[in-house]
Amino acid sequence: MKPIRNSAKAIIIYDGKVLLTKNKDQEGFFYLFPGGGQEHGEQLSEALKRECMEEIGCHIRVRDLAYVREYIGKNHQFAQWDADVHQVEFYFVAELDERIPPTEQETQIFAGTNPDEYQVGVEWVALSALDHIRVYPAQLIPRLQGRGEKDVYMGDTN
Of 39, 46, 42, 38, whose CA–CA distance to 62 is shortest?
A: 46
Beta bridge partners of 31: 22, 135
pLDDT in tens, 6-15: 999 999 999 8
Amino acid letter, residue 111: A
Query: Helix, strand, or coil here: 131?
Result: helix
Reported as a single tens digit per residue, the pLDDT across 18-55 is 999 999 999 999 999 999 999 999 999 999 999 999 99
Alpha helix stretches (DSSP H) within the chain? 44-56, 79-82, 102-105, 140-144
Q: What fold is seen in the domain 5-156?
A: Nucleoside Triphosphate Pyrophosphohydrolase (3.90.79)
Mapping DSSP to helix (H, G, I), strand (E, B) and coil, where does residue 154 land? strand
